[in-house]
Homo-oligomer: A and B are copies of this chain.
Amino acid sequence: MAKTYKIAVIPGDGIGKEVTPWAQKALEKAAEGVADFEYEQFDLGAERYLRDGSILPEEEEERIKANDAILLGAVGDPRIKAGILERGLLLKLRFDLDQYVNLRPSKLYKGVTSPLANPGDIDFVVVREGTEGLYCGAGGAVRRGTPNEVATEVSINTAYGVERVVRYAFKLAMKRRKHVTLVHKKNVLVNAGDMWQRIVDRVAEEYPEVTHDYLHIDATTIFLVSNPSRFDVILTDNLFGDIITDEAGAVVGGVGYSASGCINASDEYPSMFEPIHGSAPDIAGQNKANPTAAILSAAMLLEHLGFDDAAKKIHAAVEADIEELGSTVRTTDQVGKDILARI
């Protein structure tokens, strides 16, 4: 009998609400016969916050933690000051559930038009650290609002936190084209950059088949445009990972095709899967958003639970859909139905 997995669903804001149901449907259909899913819906995000002021009540966070995995839509609303939902909900989950690997594949699908004139074959994965760096919330301000204000932001990096994500990247490279590129800015951020480089060099010795190189973050933004095929596994910190995965999303034809996993690779807490696009308030509620990234995040969830064949079904369906219909303007529901029909 198929085992039942408990999935926490946080549709969140804007188009998150429209695309997440399609991720759930794809999950069920792809895993038919091998796994069943029991959903627990969480009403978190902008509307909840505006209604009763709560962002992530402790009791609800505990219930989320009791699930086997999390599907997240998108978080963010222009009515709410920047940072409140991001730090109070999304980043709080990533940190509290110790999701230290933020995994973001970028692939140029056949049928998708890249904004690049000669994109070549693009197929790489960014392994972004998810629980350290400038995202810790360390920092503050003095004399706020005066001409003498000083505001600081502190990037905290630990050998413990860096080593575990470095190991993940090298292990992942073994299943791929066996090349890791460390991205940092070690000529300026000499303390953190030096530590990252030393740990990469040390772990690399355990993976003699994997080659590795180093690029500054600024040079990386050039290569993503001029030669994205050069990348296999990109390994980087929290902020640099945030930046280059958006650029990578653009290069493969839009963040509408990019999914991500916030992974607790030690399995102490559930991992979380989300499209990398935001809540897109400008098109929300209009049945316009592309659910492909959300559906691909369901595939990542399946892989994480060990259902590689089910995940492959979703990938194959998405690839076929994009190749045939990628350039057709369709509603959210139409794309969802078209992909479902192929799973």
* Chain A residues within CB distance 8 Å of chain B: 76, 82-83, 86-87, 91, 113-118, 134-135, 137, 139-141, 143-160, 163, 185-195, 198, 217-219, 221-222, 224-226, 239, 242-247, 249-251, 254-255
B contact residues around A116 at 8 Å (CB): 115-117, 225
- Whether the pair A148, B159 counts as a contact (CB closer than 8 A) is yes
- Whether the pair A147, B134 counts as a contact (CB closer than 8 A) is no
A225/B152 contact (C-beta < 8 A), A147-B159, A159-B147 known: no
B contact residues around A76 at 8 Å (CB): 187
B contact residues around A149 at 8 Å (CB): 158-159, 195
* 10 chain-A/chain-B pairs, Cβ below 8 angstroms: A139-B192, A141-B194, A150-B158, A152-B155, A153-B154, A153-B191, A155-B155, A218-B245, A221-B221, A226-B250
B contact residues around A192 at 8 Å (CB): 139, 151-153
Smallest CB gap from A245: residue in B = B218
In the bound assembly, the distance between CA atoms of A80 and B190 in angstroms comes to 13
- Whether the pair A135, B244 counts as a contact (CB closer than 8 A) is no
- Whether the pair A185, B239 counts as a contact (CB closer than 8 A) is yes
- Whether the pair B244, A221 counts as a contact (CB closer than 8 A) is yes
In the bound assembly, the distance between CA atoms of A217 and B242 in angstroms comes to 9
In the bound assembly, the distance between CA atoms of A153 and B237 in angstroms comes to 13
A222/B249 contact (C-beta < 8 A), A91-B188, A239-B185 known: yes
In the bound assembly, the distance between CA atoms of A134 and B237 in angstroms comes to 15
Copies in the complex: 2
In the bound assembly, the distance between CA atoms of A243 and B139 in angstroms comes to 22
B contact residues around A189 at 8 Å (CB): 134, 139, 153
In the bound assembly, the distance between CA atoms of A146 and B141 in angstroms comes to 32
Smallest CB gap from A163: residue in B = B147
B contact residues around A114 at 8 Å (CB): 117
Among A140, A190, A242: residue with most chain B CB under 10 A: A190
- Whether the pair B156, A150 counts as a contact (CB closer than 8 A) is yes
Partner of A188 from B87, B115, B141, B251 at Cβ < 8 Å: B87
Partner of A153 from B155, B163, B222, B224 at Cβ < 8 Å: B155
Among A118, A225, A242: residue with most chain B CB under 10 A: A225
- Whether the pair B191, A140 counts as a contact (CB closer than 8 A) is yes
B contact residues around A191 at 8 Å (CB): 139-141, 151-153
- Whether the pair B154, A152 counts as a contact (CB closer than 8 A) is yes
- Whether the pair A190, B82 counts as a contact (CB closer than 8 A) is yes
In the bound assembly, the distance between CA atoms of A73 and B224 in angstroms comes to 26
